């Protein structure tokens, strides 16, 4: 009320009043929203910041292709490359007598190219070959035969003997060994110069982590929002009806909901997810089941309180249908608390989804999902911190935004906390 008074004071009435301004309530709402920061202080800022963050995350979730530089499922670089580190360059070694040649000249199907077994050179070679094939004219296909060698010396010796046409090795692998083979030369790097690194590094199969967490936003938001929506759509009507009808129906339903509520949600979700199998729809259902009791309890409690109010009594006495009473007189009273639960619930659902995927009960294995990335990264905890840190931070930030919104809204709207 106070805000309205101030509104009127600070809104000067111009000579020619536009029609929309006459409706002071409409003008007042937006202004009140901004003026409210004087009353709510830090909570107002919490709401504002989390709202901005959420809008950003939702935008990223809708258009991940605008942010992600690579396909999240494709192997785009060497495995376990640290953030910002450029991929190792590889040198092509050829006999001196073959003159000045490039990889493209010996990448034909009839050629043999050697490398050391287990080195990342095969991956580098495959990438370069793929790139050549993409730009190749119709009918031309580059696919040199691969020869694997135990040691560098073995490989270089057979190159000098003319058994293979080229050898690929990184400068680190090569060292000074090339000096022992006077007939061989360094024909230059395999890849073009200026190869960029990956800002968040790559995972163990060479996928770009940054692209994966961007696409993961979409999955997390879909799962979080839809499961919260499903619980909302089931829990709120059940709570309304149960509280309104009362009797044994109410007692049985309350008992059922209480048993679900008191049980560790994650374990229930694991069991349901195990039954339904992997898949995004199944995950949504198994998480939605967990939060139905939360809505049910709150809505039922408030319905019980509101249905004794005089205006509900009055509506009933003039013969209003019970569905109308529920919809018009009782439901509006539960909206504020339901909004708060919804917001916290979405954050919770995202956490639960990550937990399910972490335990291996979530989505199909190659989905770009934060929980799956975390589970995979656990095996590399000693070697590659970046596999875990970035997806984990994303889960935290998105959950944080939703919970912060819910928490601060409840601080603002909770009547029990208003100062006397």
Q: Which residues bind other proteins (CB under 8 A)?
A: 41-42, 46, 255-256, 258-260, 262-267, 270-272, 274-275, 277, 347, 351, 354-355, 358-361, 371, 374, 377-378, 381-382, 385, 388-389, 392, 395-397, 399-400, 403-404, 407, 414, 416-417, 419-420
Residues 6+ apart with CB under 8 A from 276: 282, 285, 286
| Shortest Cβ 351–other proteins spacing (Å) | 6
| Shortest Cβ 225–other proteins spacing (Å) | 17
Q: What are the residues facing 112 on neighbouring strands? A: 145
Select 247 or 264, whichever has its Cβ closest to other proteins: 264
**CA nearest 97: which of 154, 171, 155, 181?**
181
CB–CB of 350/402 below 8 Å? yes
Select 167 or 361, whichever has its Cβ closest to other proteins: 361
| Shortest Cβ 398–other proteins spacing (Å) | 8
Euclidean distance between CA atoms 198 and 70, whole angstroms: 10
| Shortest Cβ 340–other proteins spacing (Å) | 13
Cα 206-209-213 angle, rounded to 5 deg: 145
| Shortest Cβ 100–other proteins spacing (Å) | 47
**Residue 358 token pair:** 């972490």
| Shortest Cβ 58–other proteins spacing (Å) | 17
The sign one gets for the Cα dihedral 273, 276, 277, 278 is negative
Select 165 or 373, whichever has its Cβ closest to other proteins: 373
Euclidean distance between CA atoms 163 and 155, whole angstroms: 10
Euclidean distance between CA atoms 286 and 226, whole angstroms: 11
Select 329 or 370, whichever has its Cβ closest to other proteins: 370
Select 166 or 347, whichever has its Cβ closest to other proteins: 347
> Would you list the DSSP string of 230-288?
HHHHHHHHHHHHHHHH-HHHHHHHHHHHHHHHHS-HHHHHHHHHHHH-SSHHHHHHHHH
Select 40 or 181, whichever has its Cβ closest to other proteins: 40
| Shortest Cβ 230–other proteins spacing (Å) | 19
Select 131 or 258, whichever has its Cβ closest to other proteins: 258
Radius of gyration over every alpha carbon of the chain, rounded to an integer in angstroms: 32
Q: In what order do the strands lie in the sheet with 112-116?
A: 145-149, 112-116, 166-169, 91-95, 184-189
Considering only the C-alpha atoms of the chain, give the largest distance between any 2 of them, rounded to a whole number of Å: 106
**CA nearest 91: which of 140, 158, 152?**
152
| Shortest Cβ 355–other proteins spacing (Å) | 6
Select 129 or 294, whichever has its Cβ closest to other proteins: 294
Select 45 or 63, whichever has its Cβ closest to other proteins: 45
| Shortest Cβ 405–other proteins spacing (Å) | 10
187: helix, strand or coil: strand
């Amino acid at each position: 009320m106070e805000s309205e008074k101030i509104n009127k004071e600070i809104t000067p009435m111009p000579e020619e009043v536009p029609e929309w301004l006459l409706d002071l309530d409409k003008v007042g709402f937006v202004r009140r929203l901004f003026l409210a920061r004087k009353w709510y202080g830090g909570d107002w800022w919490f709401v504002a910041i989390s709202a901005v963050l959420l809008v950003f995350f939702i935008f990223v979730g809708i258009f991940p292709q605008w942010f992600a530089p690579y396909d999240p499922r494709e192997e785009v670089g060497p495995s376990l490359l640290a953030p910002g580190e450029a991929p190792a360059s590889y040198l092509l070694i050829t006999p001196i007598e073959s003159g000045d040649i490039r990889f493209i000249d010996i990448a034909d199907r009839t050629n043999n190219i050697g490398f050391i077994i287990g080195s990342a050179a095969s991956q580098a070679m495959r990438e370069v070959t793929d790139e050549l094939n993409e730009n190749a004219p119709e009918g031309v296909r580059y696919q040199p035969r691969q020869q694997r060698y135990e040691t560098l010396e073995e490989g270089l010796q057979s190159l000098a003997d003319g058994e293979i046409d080229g050898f690929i090795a990184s400068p680190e692998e090569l060292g000074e060994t090339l000096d022992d083979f006077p007939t061989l030369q360094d024909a230059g790097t395999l890849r073009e110069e200026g190869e960029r690194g990956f800002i968040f590094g790559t995972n163990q199969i060479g996928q770009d982590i940054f692209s994966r967490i961007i696409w993961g936003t979409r999955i997390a938001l879909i799962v979080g929002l839809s499961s919260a929506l499903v619980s909302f759509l089931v829990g709120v009507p059940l709570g309304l009806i149960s509280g309104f009808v009362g009797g044994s129906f109410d007692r049985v339903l309350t008992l059922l909901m209480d048993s679900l509520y008191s049980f560790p949600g994650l374990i229930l979700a694991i069991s349901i997810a195990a039954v339904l199998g992997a898949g995004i729809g199944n995950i949504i259902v198994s998480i939605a089941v967990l939060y139905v009791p939360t809505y049910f309890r709150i809505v039922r409690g408030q319905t019980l309180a509101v249905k004794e109010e005089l205006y509900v009594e009055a509506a009933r006495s003039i013969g209003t249908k019970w569905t109308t009473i529920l919809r018009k007189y009782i439901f509006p009273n539960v909206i504020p608390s339901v909004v708060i639960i919804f917001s916290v619930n979405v954050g919770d659902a995202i956490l639960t989804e990550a937990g399910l995927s972490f335990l291996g009960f979530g989505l199909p294995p190659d989905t770009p999902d934060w929980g799956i990335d975390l589970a995979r990264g656990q095996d590399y905890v000693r070697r590659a911190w970046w596999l875990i840190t970035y997806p984990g931070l994303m889960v935290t930030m998105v959950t944080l935004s939703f919970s912060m919104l819910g928490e601060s809204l409840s601080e603002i709207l909770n009547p029990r906390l208003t100062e006397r």
